[in-house]
Amino acid sequence: MCSTMLILPDFSKFQEKALEQLKVTEGKTVAVGQKMDLVFYTLQIGFFYMDFDLISKSIDKAKK
């Protein structure tokens, strides 16, 4: 019997890079609608990676 292992890349690096870029973009953004879009993108990243701390922070930020 041959067993194969599935080796997945470390996706946390992608999450960190994406969040860095969202913060840079947020600093350059003036319009309220675009800032809301960035918060929603952050929420999507949190849901994708099941990062509940990021999700709760994003929800709190969206409420403000």
pLDDT at 8: 67
20: confidence class by pLDDT, cuts 50, 70, 90: very high
Instruction: Share the mean pLDDT of the chain.
Output: 88
Residue 17 or residue 2, greater confidence? 17
Q: Nearest-CA neighbor of 37 among 62, 63, 64?
A: 62
- On whether the CB atoms of residues 24 and 41 are closer than 8 A, the answer is no
Q: Given a cut of 70, is residue 2 above it in pLDDT?
A: no
Q: Where are the domains of the chain?
A: 31-64
Task: Single out the residue of 15, 17, 21 nearest to residue 51, CA to CA.
Answer: 15
The better pLDDT of the pair 46, 1 is held by 46
Q: What are the distances in angstroms from CA 33 to CA 14, 18, 36?
A: 25, 20, 5
Instruction: Copy the structure tokens of residue 64.
Output: 């403000």
Whole-model pTM? 0.77
Please give the backbone phi and psi of residue 2, each rounded to the nearest 5 degrees, phi first. -105, 125
